[in-house]
Structure 1
Amino acid sequence: MRYKWLKGIVFGLGLLAASVTQAEVKEGKDYKLLSPARQVEVPGKIEVIEFFWYGCPHCKTIEPFVDTWAKKLPKDVNFRRVHVVWQGRNDIEAHAKLFAALQAMGQDARLQNAIFKAVQQDRIELRRESTLFDWLKKQGVDVNQFKSHYGSFTGNIALKKMEQTTQNYGIDGVPVFVVNGKYMTSPAILGKEDATLTRVLDELIAKERPAAAGKKKKK
């Protein structure tokens, strides 16, 4: 009996701690509210978008935390990365072109941190095709398959979509994360480049879960 009593108290305290943690996430302090809310890509799932650029040092710093977090996400969350494309920035577009080709091959997540390291730490110019193809081969990528996607018609469509998404969300700096088209957060907003970001993302996801469950019941 005593064990069950103690177990009940521990369980209750756990629920209380979880509710307190979620209550700590505040608009203006931890996130900005987007108005109007943007439409998610996969209806019925809670969407998290990471806007980034391979040449951004802040993106490189936060990426290991994001990578670890993304591997443990529940099935009701759709996490996707969007490489920003800004008009007139050919240097950024070249990196986005690389990302689009790798994404088409399903290799983008595997090479995410490696590309950040190559671009920013090792100073490898991946925007130069001969250098890029040689580097990809060393990473175990089928270069011929990569070439079929790189700069292809579908690749250009993907680039255009990334540009439109960047504009639609009003992204003027990176890294930025958007939860379910409603909540925007970033290391700049939080003032930290560590696991604080993924904690806030988890709490924003939890904030959206009851609404997502309600929509499923109505169907």
Structure 2
Amino acid sequence: MLNTWLKRLLIGTTLLAASFAHAELREGVEYKKMAKPQAVAIAGKSEVIEFFWYGCPHCFTVAPHVEDWASKLPANVNFRRVHVAWPGRSDMEGHAKIFIALQAMGLDGKQQLAVMSAIQKDRIELRKEDVLFAWIKKQGIDVEKFKAQYNSFSSSASMNKLAQMTRDYQVDGVPMFVVNGKYVTSPGMINKEDGSITQVINELLAKDKPAPAKKK
């Protein structure tokens, strides 16, 4: 009798959780519309941008959930990360330079969790160049190639681009996710720092599918 009651309780709880997970999103609660929508990078593809900072503890908390979600994305969804660059935040510039160098080498995604873990868990000061280069070597990354990108002239232009995107997308906190250049959501909006944020993103992707790219 008790087992039957427990089974019914579990089934009821599961159904309730499922209905909650697929409840209709509410504008102004789980997401908001961009005041000035932005064009997606690849026409005809859905797009998700994560604005983050290597030193943000909230970004670090949701990072494993985002990594798992990103690994299962279909080919028609373009996911990209953008390190924020707020004016006057010199503490962010050093971290943004690491992102820029890794991105130029095609390693930013692969090293995302490693960099955040080094900074926030191991308390390694990667904004000090000697410490950074020693750490880069330990990761099995070509140090000389990394230095070349880290100190390149184009690094400054890339930093300006990050700052411009931070302004254009009106990023006022991280992590912040933008879907198709139209919708904004964040763990702060849903008051959860777990996989729930990826459920919201998936529902926004389902809600808004871009038109096919025009044939030339």
Which of 19-28 and 138-147 deviates more?
19-28
User: What is the match of residue 181 of structure 2?
Assistant: 181
Structure 1 segments unaligned to the other structure (5+ residues): 1-17
User: What is the match of residue 132 of structure 1?
Assistant: 132
Name the CA shift for 1:24/1:127 in 2 (closer, same or farther; >3 Å): same
User: What is the match of residue 82 of structure 2?
Assistant: 82
User: What is the match of residue 148 of structure 2?
Assistant: 148
Give the match's secondary structure for 1:184: strand
Partner Cα separation in structure 2 for residue 218 and residue 98 of structure 1: 36
User: What is the match of residue 56 of structure 1?
Assistant: 56
| TM-score normalised by structure 2 residue count | 0.87
**2:118 matched to 1:113?**
no
Give the match's secondary structure for 1:108: coil
Task: Tell me the alpha carbon deviations over residues 164-185 of structure 1, each in whole angstroms, 9 at most, x when there is no partner.
Answer: 0000111121110000010000
Task: Tell me the alpha carbon deviations over residues 146-177 of structure 1, each in whole angstroms, 9 at most, x when there is no partner.
Answer: 01100311221111111000001111211100
User: What is the match of residue 167 of structure 1?
Assistant: 167
**2:99 matched to 1:99?**
yes
Name the CA shift for 1:126/1:217 in 2 (closer, same or farther; >3 Å): closer
What is the identity percentage for the equivalent residue pairs of Structure 1 and Structure 2? Answer: 56
Query: 1:20 offset after TM fit, Å?
Result: 9.1
Partner Cα separation in structure 1 for residue 115 and residue 54 of structure 2: 7
Which of 40-49 and 126-135 deviates more?
40-49
Give the match's secondary structure for 2:111: helix
1:177-216 to 2 correspondences below 5 Å: 177-209=177-209, 212=210, 215-216=211-212
Name the CA shift for 1:19/1:38 in 2 (closer, same or farther; >3 Å): farther
**What CA RMSD, in Å, does the superposition of the two structures yield over aligned residues?**
1.8
Partner Cα separation in structure 2 for residue 166 and residue 204 of structure 1: 21
Letter matched to residue 60 of structure 2: K
Partner Cα separation in structure 1 for residue 49 and residue 96 of structure 2: 15
Structure 2 segments unaligned to the other structure (5+ residues): 1-17
Partner Cα separation in structure 1 for residue 158 and residue 188 of structure 2: 28
Partner Cα separation in structure 2 for residue 106 and residue 217 of structure 1: 26
Partner Cα separation in structure 1 for residue 122 and residue 214 of structure 2: 52
User: What is the match of residue 30 of structure 1?
Assistant: 30
Give the match's secondary structure for 2:72: coil
Query: 1:36 offset after TM fit, Å?
Result: 2.6
**2:67 matched to 1:70?**
no
Greater helix proportion: 1
**2:45 matched to 1:45?**
yes
Is the 8 Å Cα contact of residues 21 and 199 (structure 2) preserved in structure 1?
no
Name the CA shift for 1:19/1:161 in 2 (closer, same or farther; >3 Å): farther
Name the CA shift for 1:23/1:36 in 2 (closer, same or farther; >3 Å): farther
Letter matched to residue 138 of structure 1: K
Alignment: residue pair count: 198
Name the CA shift for 1:77/1:19 in 2 (closer, same or farther; >3 Å): farther
Name the CA shift for 1:45/1:19 in 2 (closer, same or farther; >3 Å): farther
